[in-house]
Protein backbone atom coordinates (compact mmCIF):
# COMPACT_ATOMS: atom_id res chain seq x y z
CA UNK A 1 0.00 0.00 0.00
CA UNK A 2 1.12 3.56 -0.64
CA UNK A 3 2.13 6.17 1.92
CA UNK A 4 -1.48 7.39 2.04
CA UNK A 5 -2.87 3.88 2.64
CA UNK A 6 -4.99 5.34 5.44
CA UNK A 7 -7.06 7.53 3.11
CA UNK A 8 -10.37 5.72 2.69
CA UNK A 9 -9.12 2.75 4.75
CA UNK A 10 -11.15 0.59 7.13
CA UNK A 11 -9.72 -0.05 10.62
CA UNK A 12 -11.00 -2.69 13.03
CA UNK A 13 -10.80 -1.75 16.70
CA UNK A 14 -9.76 -4.57 19.04
CA UNK A 15 -10.46 -4.12 22.74
CA UNK A 16 -7.63 -6.40 23.98
CA UNK A 17 -9.19 -7.41 27.30
CA UNK A 18 -12.18 -8.82 25.42
CA UNK A 19 -11.00 -10.17 22.08
CA UNK A 20 -9.39 -13.56 22.83
CA UNK A 21 -7.95 -15.04 26.02
CA UNK A 22 -5.30 -17.65 25.24
CA UNK A 23 -3.71 -18.09 28.68
CA UNK A 24 -6.97 -18.91 30.46
CA UNK A 25 -7.02 -16.13 33.06
CA UNK A 26 -10.33 -14.65 31.87
CA UNK A 27 -8.74 -11.57 30.27
CA UNK A 28 -7.84 -11.25 26.60
CA UNK A 29 -4.19 -11.13 25.60
CA UNK A 30 -1.79 -10.45 22.73
CA UNK A 31 -1.31 -14.13 21.94
CA UNK A 32 -5.07 -14.47 21.51
CA UNK A 33 -5.25 -11.44 19.23
CA UNK A 34 -2.39 -12.80 17.14
CA UNK A 35 -4.16 -16.15 16.74
CA UNK A 36 -7.32 -14.40 15.55
CA UNK A 37 -5.66 -12.02 13.07
CA UNK A 38 -6.51 -14.25 10.06
CA UNK A 39 -10.17 -13.66 10.95
CA UNK A 40 -9.66 -9.92 10.46
CA UNK A 41 -7.73 -10.39 7.23
CA UNK A 42 -10.55 -12.62 5.95
CA UNK A 43 -13.12 -10.01 6.95
CA UNK A 44 -11.39 -7.57 4.63
CA UNK A 45 -10.25 -4.68 6.82
CA UNK A 46 -7.02 -2.75 6.21
CA UNK A 47 -5.78 -2.15 9.75
CA UNK A 48 -6.22 -3.20 13.36
CA UNK A 49 -6.31 -0.69 16.22
CA UNK A 50 -5.37 -1.97 19.66
CA UNK A 51 -6.75 -0.16 22.68
CA UNK A 52 -3.99 0.35 25.31
CA UNK A 53 -1.81 -2.64 26.20
CA UNK A 54 0.85 -0.74 28.19
CA UNK A 55 1.66 -1.31 31.86
CA UNK A 56 -1.16 0.08 33.97
CA UNK A 57 -2.90 -0.36 37.34
CA UNK A 58 -6.09 -0.60 35.23
CA UNK A 59 -8.11 1.95 37.18
CA UNK A 60 -9.43 3.01 33.76
CA UNK A 61 -8.68 -0.24 31.92
CA UNK A 62 -5.34 0.79 30.47
CA UNK A 63 -6.11 4.44 29.81
CA UNK A 64 -3.99 5.15 32.90
CA UNK A 65 -0.47 4.28 31.78
CA UNK A 66 2.35 3.64 34.26
CA UNK A 67 5.01 2.67 31.67
CA UNK A 68 4.81 3.83 28.06
CA UNK A 69 7.48 1.41 26.80
CA UNK A 70 6.35 -1.94 28.17
CA UNK A 71 3.40 -4.31 27.84
CA UNK A 72 1.23 -5.00 30.86
CA UNK A 73 1.73 -8.61 32.02
CA UNK A 74 -2.01 -9.26 31.77
CA UNK A 75 -1.62 -8.96 27.98
CA UNK A 76 1.83 -10.54 27.58
CA UNK A 77 5.30 -9.27 26.78
CA UNK A 78 7.12 -7.06 24.30
CA UNK A 79 8.08 -10.25 22.45
CA UNK A 80 4.36 -11.10 22.17
CA UNK A 81 3.73 -7.63 20.79
CA UNK A 82 6.48 -8.01 18.21
CA UNK A 83 5.02 -11.34 17.11
CA UNK A 84 1.60 -9.71 16.73
CA UNK A 85 3.01 -6.94 14.52
CA UNK A 86 4.94 -9.41 12.38
CA UNK A 87 1.89 -11.66 11.94
CA UNK A 88 -0.36 -8.72 11.06
CA UNK A 89 2.08 -7.43 8.48
CA UNK A 90 2.38 -10.92 7.03
CA UNK A 91 -1.40 -10.89 6.52
CA UNK A 92 -1.36 -7.42 4.94
CA UNK A 93 -2.79 -5.68 8.00
CA UNK A 94 -1.52 -2.41 9.45
CA UNK A 95 -1.20 -2.06 13.24
CA UNK A 96 -2.34 1.09 15.06
CA UNK A 97 -1.86 1.49 18.81
CA UNK A 98 -3.48 3.80 21.33
CA UNK A 99 -1.40 6.65 22.73
CA UNK A 100 -2.80 8.10 25.98
CA UNK A 101 -0.51 11.05 26.57
CA UNK A 102 -2.73 13.81 27.96
CA UNK A 103 -2.43 12.10 31.34
CA UNK A 104 -0.75 9.13 33.01
CA UNK A 105 -1.42 6.89 35.98
CA UNK A 106 -0.63 8.37 39.38
CA UNK A 107 1.64 5.32 39.74
CA UNK A 108 3.85 6.47 36.87
CA UNK A 109 7.39 7.14 38.18
CA UNK A 110 7.25 10.66 36.75
CA UNK A 111 4.19 11.59 38.79
CA UNK A 112 5.60 9.93 41.90
CA UNK A 113 8.65 12.16 41.50
CA UNK A 114 6.61 15.26 40.59
CA UNK A 115 4.39 15.10 43.65
CA UNK A 116 7.34 14.96 46.09
CA UNK A 117 8.15 18.68 46.05
CA UNK A 118 7.88 21.92 44.11
CA UNK A 119 11.61 21.99 43.36
CA UNK A 120 12.41 18.48 42.13
CA UNK A 121 13.60 17.70 38.58
CA UNK A 122 10.07 16.70 37.48
CA UNK A 123 8.19 19.28 39.55
CA UNK A 124 6.56 20.94 36.55
CA UNK A 125 5.96 17.83 34.42
CA UNK A 126 2.36 17.73 35.65
CA UNK A 127 -0.18 20.53 36.15
CA UNK A 128 0.08 21.88 39.70
CA UNK A 129 -1.52 25.05 41.06
CA UNK A 130 -1.82 26.88 44.35
CA UNK A 131 -5.15 26.96 46.17
CA UNK A 132 -7.25 30.07 46.37
CA UNK A 133 -6.92 32.05 49.60
CA UNK A 134 -9.87 30.12 51.04
CA UNK A 135 -8.15 26.80 50.30
CA UNK A 136 -10.47 25.84 47.45
CA UNK A 137 -9.21 24.65 44.02
CA UNK A 138 -7.76 27.25 41.64
CA UNK A 139 -10.78 27.29 39.32
CA UNK A 140 -14.11 25.62 38.50
CA UNK A 141 -12.91 22.94 36.08
CA UNK A 142 -14.75 19.63 36.35
CA UNK A 143 -13.64 16.04 35.76
CA UNK A 144 -15.36 13.86 33.16
CA UNK A 145 -15.82 11.00 35.62
CA UNK A 146 -17.47 13.22 38.21
CA UNK A 147 -16.51 15.90 40.73
CA UNK A 148 -13.87 18.58 40.46
CA UNK A 149 -10.82 18.29 38.21
CA UNK A 150 -8.40 19.15 41.03
CA UNK A 151 -7.05 16.96 43.84
CA UNK A 152 -4.96 18.16 46.78
CA UNK A 153 -1.32 17.10 46.99
CA UNK A 154 -0.35 17.45 50.64
CA UNK A 155 3.43 17.31 50.17
CA UNK A 156 3.45 20.21 47.71
CA UNK A 157 0.56 22.11 49.31
CA UNK A 158 -0.88 22.41 45.82
CA UNK A 159 -3.64 20.92 43.71
CA UNK A 160 -2.96 18.78 40.64
CA UNK A 161 -5.19 18.66 37.55
CA UNK A 162 -6.96 15.54 36.30
CA UNK A 163 -9.58 15.76 33.57
CA UNK A 164 -10.56 12.16 34.31
CA UNK A 165 -9.99 10.15 37.50
CA UNK A 166 -7.93 11.53 40.38
CA UNK A 167 -5.56 8.64 39.62
CA UNK A 168 -5.02 10.07 36.09
CA UNK A 169 -3.02 13.30 36.58
CA UNK A 170 -2.59 15.56 33.55
CA UNK A 171 0.82 16.18 32.02
CA UNK A 172 1.97 19.79 31.67
CA UNK A 173 2.46 20.16 27.92
CA UNK A 174 3.59 23.77 28.38
CA UNK A 175 6.88 22.15 29.41
CA UNK A 176 8.88 21.34 26.22
CA UNK A 177 10.53 18.41 27.99
CA UNK A 178 7.11 16.75 28.40
CA UNK A 179 6.43 17.15 24.70
CA UNK A 180 9.77 15.58 23.78
CA UNK A 181 9.25 12.75 26.26
CA UNK A 182 6.07 11.69 24.51
CA UNK A 183 7.52 12.07 21.03
CA UNK A 184 10.41 9.84 22.07
CA UNK A 185 8.00 7.23 23.41
CA UNK A 186 6.10 7.24 20.13
CA UNK A 187 9.35 6.82 18.22
CA UNK A 188 10.05 3.74 20.36
CA UNK A 189 6.93 2.05 18.97
CA UNK A 190 7.47 3.29 15.43
CA UNK A 191 10.89 1.65 15.57
CA UNK A 192 9.13 -1.59 16.56
CA UNK A 193 7.07 -1.41 13.37
CA UNK A 194 3.70 0.05 14.31
CA UNK A 195 1.96 1.79 11.43
CA UNK A 196 0.27 4.56 13.34
CA UNK A 197 -1.31 5.91 16.49
CA UNK A 198 -4.80 6.53 17.70
CA UNK A 199 -4.41 9.60 19.92
CA UNK A 200 -6.69 9.50 22.92
CA UNK A 201 -8.36 12.83 23.85
CA UNK A 202 -6.18 14.68 21.36
CA UNK A 203 -7.67 18.08 22.20
CA UNK A 204 -6.88 17.78 25.93
CA UNK A 205 -3.09 18.12 25.82
CA UNK A 206 -2.81 21.80 26.73
CA UNK A 207 -4.68 23.71 29.41
CA UNK A 208 -5.09 27.46 29.76
CA UNK A 209 -1.89 28.68 31.46
CA UNK A 210 -3.88 31.40 33.26
CA UNK A 211 -6.28 28.81 34.71
CA UNK A 212 -9.36 30.83 33.83
CA UNK A 213 -12.78 29.45 34.77
CA UNK A 214 -14.79 27.55 32.20
CA UNK A 215 -18.11 29.16 31.33
CA UNK A 216 -21.57 27.71 31.74
CA UNK A 217 -22.74 25.86 28.64
CA UNK A 218 -24.46 28.33 26.36
CA UNK A 219 -27.03 25.64 25.55
CA UNK A 220 -29.28 26.27 28.55
CA UNK A 221 -30.39 23.08 30.30
CA UNK A 222 -33.93 22.64 31.58
CA UNK A 223 -32.62 20.42 34.38
CA UNK A 224 -29.18 19.43 35.65
CA UNK A 225 -27.28 16.85 33.61
CA UNK A 226 -26.54 13.39 34.99
CA UNK A 227 -22.91 14.41 34.68
CA UNK A 228 -22.33 18.09 35.53
CA UNK A 229 -19.24 18.11 33.26
CA UNK A 230 -21.70 18.55 30.39
CA UNK A 231 -23.04 21.77 31.93
CA UNK A 232 -19.83 23.68 31.17
CA UNK A 233 -18.51 25.19 27.97
CA UNK A 234 -14.88 24.04 28.09
CA UNK A 235 -13.14 27.14 26.81
CA UNK A 236 -10.02 26.83 28.94
CA UNK A 237 -9.62 23.31 30.35
CA UNK A 238 -8.98 21.95 26.82
CA UNK A 239 -9.03 22.99 23.12
CA UNK A 240 -6.13 25.41 23.52
CA UNK A 241 -4.35 26.88 20.45
CA UNK A 242 -0.96 25.55 21.62
CA UNK A 243 -2.26 22.08 20.76
CA UNK A 244 -1.96 22.80 17.05
CA UNK A 245 1.74 23.61 17.12
CA UNK A 246 2.49 20.47 19.12
CA UNK A 247 0.57 18.33 16.61
CA UNK A 248 2.74 19.79 13.86
CA UNK A 249 5.81 18.66 15.82
CA UNK A 250 4.27 15.22 16.22
CA UNK A 251 3.42 14.98 12.52
CA UNK A 252 6.96 16.01 11.55
CA UNK A 253 8.38 13.25 13.75
CA UNK A 254 6.01 10.60 12.37
CA UNK A 255 6.70 11.69 8.79
CA UNK A 256 10.32 10.67 9.24
CA UNK A 257 9.01 7.09 9.01
CA UNK A 258 7.53 5.63 5.84
CA UNK A 259 3.77 5.25 5.48
CA UNK A 260 2.77 5.98 9.10
CA UNK A 261 -0.42 7.64 10.28
CA UNK A 262 -1.99 9.70 13.12
CA UNK A 263 -5.71 9.61 13.91
CA UNK A 264 -7.06 11.71 16.78
CA UNK A 265 -10.06 11.31 19.04
CA UNK A 266 -11.86 14.65 19.26
CA UNK A 267 -13.38 14.74 22.75
CA UNK A 268 -15.57 17.79 22.26
CA UNK A 269 -19.33 18.36 22.33
CA UNK A 270 -19.62 21.89 20.94
CA UNK A 271 -17.65 22.31 17.73
CA UNK A 272 -16.31 18.82 17.08
CA UNK A 273 -16.72 18.69 13.30
CA UNK A 274 -15.10 22.09 12.79
CA UNK A 275 -12.24 21.10 15.07
CA UNK A 276 -11.79 17.80 13.21
CA UNK A 277 -11.09 19.87 10.12
CA UNK A 278 -8.75 22.20 11.99
CA UNK A 279 -6.80 19.30 13.46
CA UNK A 280 -6.33 17.54 10.09
CA UNK A 281 -5.06 20.50 8.06
CA UNK A 282 -1.84 22.48 8.18
CA UNK A 283 0.49 19.51 8.60
CA UNK A 284 -1.15 18.14 11.76
CA UNK A 285 -3.08 14.86 12.02
CA UNK A 286 -3.75 12.65 9.04
CA UNK A 287 -7.33 12.10 10.19
CA UNK A 288 -9.63 12.68 13.14
CA UNK A 289 -12.92 11.40 14.50
CA UNK A 290 -15.48 12.77 16.91
CA UNK A 291 -18.51 11.44 18.78
CA UNK A 292 -21.02 13.11 16.47
CA UNK A 293 -22.07 9.76 14.95
CA UNK A 294 -21.58 7.83 18.20
CA UNK A 295 -24.62 9.28 19.96
CA UNK A 296 -28.39 8.83 19.89
CA UNK A 297 -29.07 11.10 16.90
CA UNK A 298 -30.40 9.11 13.94
CA UNK A 299 -31.82 10.90 10.93
CA UNK A 300 -30.96 11.66 7.35
CA UNK A 301 -30.46 15.30 8.28
CA UNK A 302 -28.03 14.43 11.08
CA UNK A 303 -25.77 12.18 8.99
CA UNK A 304 -25.81 14.66 6.11
CA UNK A 305 -24.97 17.57 8.40
CA UNK A 306 -21.78 15.95 9.72
CA UNK A 307 -20.31 15.24 6.30
CA UNK A 308 -21.38 18.54 4.78
CA UNK A 309 -19.94 20.41 7.76
CA UNK A 310 -16.52 18.77 7.51
CA UNK A 311 -15.27 18.97 3.94
CA UNK A 312 -15.95 22.61 2.94
CA UNK A 313 -13.92 23.95 5.87
CA UNK A 314 -11.11 21.40 5.82
CA UNK A 315 -9.15 21.73 2.60
CA UNK A 316 -6.91 18.68 2.58
CA UNK A 317 -8.34 17.43 5.87
CA UNK A 318 -9.69 13.93 6.31
CA UNK A 319 -12.30 12.43 8.67
CA UNK A 320 -12.63 8.98 10.17
CA UNK A 321 -16.23 7.91 10.81
CA UNK A 322 -17.51 5.32 13.28
CA UNK A 323 -20.87 4.25 14.70
CA UNK A 324 -19.56 2.24 17.68
CA UNK A 325 -16.48 2.02 19.89
CA UNK A 326 -15.46 1.06 23.44
CA UNK A 327 -16.93 4.24 24.95
CA UNK A 328 -20.55 4.16 23.73
CA UNK A 329 -23.58 1.89 23.61
CA UNK A 330 -23.36 -0.40 20.59
CA UNK A 331 -25.19 1.18 17.69
CA UNK A 332 -27.52 -1.75 16.94
CA UNK A 333 -28.90 -1.31 20.46
CA UNK A 334 -28.63 2.49 20.47
CA UNK A 335 -30.66 2.83 17.26
CA UNK A 336 -32.83 -0.27 17.65
CA UNK A 337 -36.14 1.60 17.48
CA UNK A 338 -35.26 2.64 13.93
CA UNK A 339 -34.85 -0.96 12.76
CA UNK A 340 -37.43 -3.47 11.61
CA UNK A 341 -35.01 -6.19 12.75
CA UNK A 342 -31.59 -6.41 14.38
CA UNK A 343 -30.06 -7.97 11.27
CA UNK A 344 -31.68 -5.49 8.91
CA UNK A 345 -30.50 -2.49 10.90
CA UNK A 346 -27.00 -3.96 11.30
CA UNK A 347 -26.62 -4.54 7.56
CA UNK A 348 -28.02 -1.14 6.65
CA UNK A 349 -25.68 0.63 9.05
CA UNK A 350 -22.73 -1.30 7.62
CA UNK A 351 -23.63 -0.13 4.14
CA UNK A 352 -24.18 3.45 5.31
CA UNK A 353 -20.90 3.73 7.22
CA UNK A 354 -18.87 2.06 4.48
CA UNK A 355 -20.30 4.38 1.84
CA UNK A 356 -19.28 7.59 3.63
CA UNK A 357 -16.50 9.79 2.28
CA UNK A 358 -13.56 9.42 4.63
CA UNK A 359 -11.98 6.54 6.49
CA UNK A 360 -13.97 4.13 8.64
CA UNK A 361 -13.45 2.43 11.99
CA UNK A 362 -15.36 -0.72 12.95
CA UNK A 363 -15.60 -1.92 16.55
CA UNK A 364 -15.11 -5.58 17.41
CA UNK A 365 -18.34 -7.56 17.19
CA UNK A 366 -20.03 -4.89 15.11
CA UNK A 367 -19.72 -7.22 12.11
CA UNK A 368 -21.83 -9.79 14.01
CA UNK A 369 -24.65 -7.35 14.66
CA UNK A 370 -23.65 -7.56 18.31
CA UNK A 371 -25.86 -5.83 20.89
CA UNK A 372 -25.20 -4.14 24.23
CA UNK A 373 -24.80 -6.46 27.21
CA UNK A 374 -27.03 -5.91 30.23
CA UNK A 375 -24.97 -5.94 33.44
CA UNK A 376 -25.68 -5.63 37.12
CA UNK A 377 -24.04 -2.97 39.24
CA UNK A 378 -21.92 -5.63 40.95
CA UNK A 379 -20.44 -6.66 37.60
CA UNK A 380 -19.26 -3.18 36.60
CA UNK A 381 -15.60 -2.23 36.29
CA UNK A 382 -16.00 1.13 34.51
CA UNK A 383 -15.64 4.15 36.82
CA UNK A 384 -18.15 6.10 34.74
CA UNK A 385 -20.82 3.45 35.25
CA UNK A 386 -20.02 3.07 38.95
CA UNK A 387 -20.13 6.83 39.57
CA UNK A 388 -23.30 7.61 37.59
CA UNK A 389 -25.36 4.43 38.08
CA UNK A 390 -28.22 3.90 37.38
CA UNK A 391 -28.94 6.95 35.19
CA UNK A 392 -25.85 6.07 33.16
CA UNK A 393 -24.69 2.46 33.08
CA UNK A 394 -21.19 3.19 31.86
CA UNK A 395 -19.19 1.55 29.13
CA UNK A 396 -18.87 -2.05 30.27
CA UNK A 397 -21.91 -3.14 28.27
CA UNK A 398 -20.07 -2.62 24.98
CA UNK A 399 -16.80 -4.11 26.26
CA UNK A 400 -17.91 -7.66 27.05
CA UNK A 401 -16.02 -10.54 25.41
CA UNK A 402 -16.04 -11.36 21.71
CA UNK A 403 -18.25 -14.35 20.90
CA UNK A 404 -16.47 -16.92 18.70
CA UNK A 405 -18.18 -20.31 19.16
CA UNK A 406 -21.73 -20.25 20.47
CA UNK A 407 -21.73 -23.59 22.28
CA UNK A 408 -18.25 -23.41 23.83
CA UNK A 409 -17.59 -22.12 27.38
CA UNK A 410 -17.63 -18.32 27.33
CA UNK A 411 -18.50 -18.60 23.61
CA UNK A 412 -14.89 -19.52 22.84
CA UNK A 413 -13.39 -16.37 24.32
CA UNK A 414 -11.77 -18.06 27.32
CA UNK A 415 -11.51 -21.37 29.17
CA UNK A 416 -11.56 -19.55 32.53
CA UNK A 417 -14.32 -20.27 35.02
CA UNK A 418 -15.02 -16.55 35.21
CA UNK A 419 -14.14 -13.85 32.70
CA UNK A 420 -13.42 -10.21 33.54
CA UNK A 421 -16.84 -9.28 32.17
CA UNK A 422 -19.51 -11.92 31.61
CA UNK A 423 -20.62 -13.59 28.40
CA UNK A 424 -24.42 -13.46 28.19
CA UNK A 425 -26.55 -15.84 26.06
CA UNK A 426 -27.75 -12.92 23.91
CA UNK A 427 -24.17 -12.16 22.90
CA UNK A 428 -23.21 -15.83 22.42
CA UNK A 429 -26.22 -16.27 20.14
CA UNK A 430 -24.56 -14.23 17.36
CA UNK A 431 -21.10 -15.82 17.69
CA UNK A 432 -18.80 -15.98 14.70
CA UNK A 433 -19.55 -19.66 14.05
CA UNK A 434 -23.26 -18.83 13.63
CA UNK A 435 -22.57 -16.28 10.91
CA UNK A 436 -23.12 -18.23 7.72
CA UNK A 437 -24.44 -17.30 4.31
CA UNK A 438 -26.75 -14.29 4.47
CA UNK A 439 -25.54 -13.29 7.94
CA UNK A 440 -24.48 -9.86 9.14
CA UNK A 441 -20.81 -10.90 8.97
CA UNK A 442 -21.23 -12.20 5.42
CA UNK A 443 -22.71 -8.85 4.47
CA UNK A 444 -19.82 -6.96 6.07
CA UNK A 445 -17.39 -9.07 4.03
CA UNK A 446 -19.28 -8.33 0.83
CA UNK A 447 -19.59 -4.63 1.59
CA UNK A 448 -15.91 -4.32 2.55
CA UNK A 449 -14.92 -6.02 -0.69
CA UNK A 450 -17.27 -3.74 -2.67
CA UNK A 451 -15.79 -0.63 -1.04
CA UNK A 452 -12.22 -1.78 -1.61
CA UNK A 453 -12.94 -2.35 -5.31
CA UNK A 454 -14.73 1.00 -5.73
CA UNK A 455 -12.66 4.12 -6.41
CA UNK A 456 -15.85 6.13 -5.91
CA UNK A 457 -16.48 4.87 -2.37
CA UNK A 458 -12.86 5.03 -1.24
CA UNK A 459 -12.04 8.47 -2.57
CA UNK A 460 -14.91 10.03 -4.50
CA UNK A 461 -16.46 13.33 -3.48
CA UNK A 462 -19.97 13.44 -2.02
CA UNK A 463 -22.96 15.26 -3.47
CA UNK A 464 -26.14 14.92 -1.45
CA UNK A 465 -29.58 14.44 -3.00
CA UNK A 466 -32.49 16.50 -1.68
CA UNK A 467 -34.75 13.76 -0.36
CA UNK A 468 -37.36 13.91 2.42
CA UNK A 469 -36.91 12.14 5.76
CA UNK A 470 -36.37 9.29 6.36
CA UNK A 471 -34.53 8.97 3.03
CA UNK A 472 -30.82 9.77 2.79
CA UNK A 473 -29.24 9.87 -0.63
CA UNK A 474 -25.93 10.97 -2.10
CA UNK A 475 -23.71 10.45 -5.10
CA UNK A 476 -20.08 9.37 -4.67
CA UNK A 477 -17.45 10.05 -7.29
CA UNK A 478 -18.37 9.73 -10.94
CA UNK A 479 -20.64 6.71 -11.15
CA UNK A 480 -22.06 5.67 -7.76
CA UNK A 481 -25.22 6.64 -5.90
CA UNK A 482 -26.36 5.53 -2.44
CA UNK A 483 -29.92 5.72 -1.09
CA UNK A 484 -31.01 4.64 2.40
CA UNK A 485 -34.43 4.30 3.98
CA UNK A 486 -33.72 5.07 7.64
CA UNK A 487 -37.03 3.67 8.78
CA UNK A 488 -38.72 0.36 9.59
CA UNK A 489 -41.49 1.39 7.16
CA UNK A 490 -41.25 0.96 3.34
CA UNK A 491 -40.54 3.93 1.06
CA UNK A 492 -40.12 4.62 -2.64
CA UNK A 493 -38.93 7.38 -4.94
CA UNK A 494 -38.51 8.22 -8.60
CA UNK A 495 -35.16 7.08 -10.01
CA UNK A 496 -33.98 7.36 -13.58
CA UNK A 497 -31.27 5.10 -14.99
CA UNK A 498 -28.54 3.05 -13.43
CA UNK A 499 -28.44 -0.45 -12.04
CA UNK A 500 -28.48 -1.94 -8.56
CA UNK A 501 -24.97 -2.96 -7.47
CA UNK A 502 -25.63 -3.99 -3.87
CA UNK A 503 -28.65 -3.53 -1.64
CA UNK A 504 -31.12 -4.84 0.89
CA UNK A 505 -34.91 -4.84 0.55
CA UNK A 506 -34.43 -2.82 -2.62
CA UNK A 507 -35.84 -3.02 -6.14
CA UNK A 508 -35.35 -0.78 -9.18
CA UNK A 509 -38.14 -1.12 -11.75
CA UNK A 510 -39.49 1.24 -14.39
CA UNK A 511 -37.77 4.34 -13.05
CA UNK A 512 -39.01 3.61 -9.53
CA UNK A 513 -36.75 2.72 -6.61
CA UNK A 514 -38.53 0.81 -3.86
CA UNK A 515 -36.91 0.42 -0.45
CA UNK A 516 -38.41 -1.85 2.17
CA UNK A 517 -37.87 -1.56 5.93
CA UNK A 518 -34.26 -0.45 6.50
CA UNK A 519 -33.73 -0.93 2.80
CA UNK A 520 -30.87 0.60 0.88
CA UNK A 521 -29.48 0.62 -2.61
CA UNK A 522 -26.01 1.35 -3.91
CA UNK A 523 -26.33 1.94 -7.62
CA UNK A 524 -24.04 2.24 -10.60
CA UNK A 525 -25.11 5.31 -12.51
CA UNK A 526 -22.84 5.02 -15.56
Please identify every residue annotated as catalytic. Answer: 200, 265
CA separation for the pair 323, 229 (Å, rounded): 23
Cβ-proximal residues to 371 (8 Å cutoff; 6+ apart), any chain: 330, 332, 333, 336, 342, 426, 427, 430
Residue 147 CB-density burial (10 A; 0-12 exposed, 13-18 middle, 19+ buried): middle
H helix runs in 207-254, sequence order? 242-254
Q: Tell me, what DSSP letter sits at residue 158?
A: E
Q: Are 111 and 67 in contact (CB under 8 A)?
A: no
- Assign residue 199 a region (left: φ > 0; alpha: ψ between -120 and 50; beta: otherwise): beta
Angle between helices 30-43 and 440-452 (to 10 degrees): 70
Give Rg (Cα) of the chain. 23
Quote the Cα angle for 257-263-267, to 5°: 145
For residue 520, how far is the Cα from the chain centroid?
Answer: 26
**Of 522, 514, 440, nearest in space to 481 by CA:** 522
CA distances to 299, 338, 443, 468, 518 from 488, in Å: 13, 6, 19, 15, 5
The Cβ-side half-sphere exposure at 379, using a 13 Å CA radius, reads 17
**Cα dihedral 174→179→180→182 (10° resolution):** 150
Q: Are 226 and 139 in contact (CB under 8 A)?
A: no
CA separation for the pair 362, 45 (Å, rounded): 9
For residue 104, how far is the Cα from the chain centroid?
Answer: 19
**Of 181, 64, 200, 63, nearest in space to 125 by CA:** 181
CA separation for the pair 340, 89 (Å, rounded): 40
Residue 196 in 3-state DSSP? strand
CA separation for the pair 484, 355 (Å, rounded): 11
Amino acid sequence: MTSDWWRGSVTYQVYPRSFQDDDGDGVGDLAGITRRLPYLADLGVDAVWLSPVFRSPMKDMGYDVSDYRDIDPVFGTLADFDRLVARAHGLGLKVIIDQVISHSSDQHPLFIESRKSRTGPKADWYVWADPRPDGSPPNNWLAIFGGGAWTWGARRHQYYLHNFLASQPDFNFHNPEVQQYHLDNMAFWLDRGVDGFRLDTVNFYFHDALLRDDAADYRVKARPENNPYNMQYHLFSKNQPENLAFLQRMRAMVDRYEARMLVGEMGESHHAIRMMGEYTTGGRLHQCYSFEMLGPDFSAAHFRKQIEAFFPGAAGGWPCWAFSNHDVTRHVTRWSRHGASREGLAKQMAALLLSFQGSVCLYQGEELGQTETELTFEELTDPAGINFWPEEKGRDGCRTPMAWERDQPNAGFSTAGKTWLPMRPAQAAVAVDTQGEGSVRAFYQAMLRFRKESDDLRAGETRFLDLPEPLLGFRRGVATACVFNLSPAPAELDWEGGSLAIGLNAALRADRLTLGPNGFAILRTA
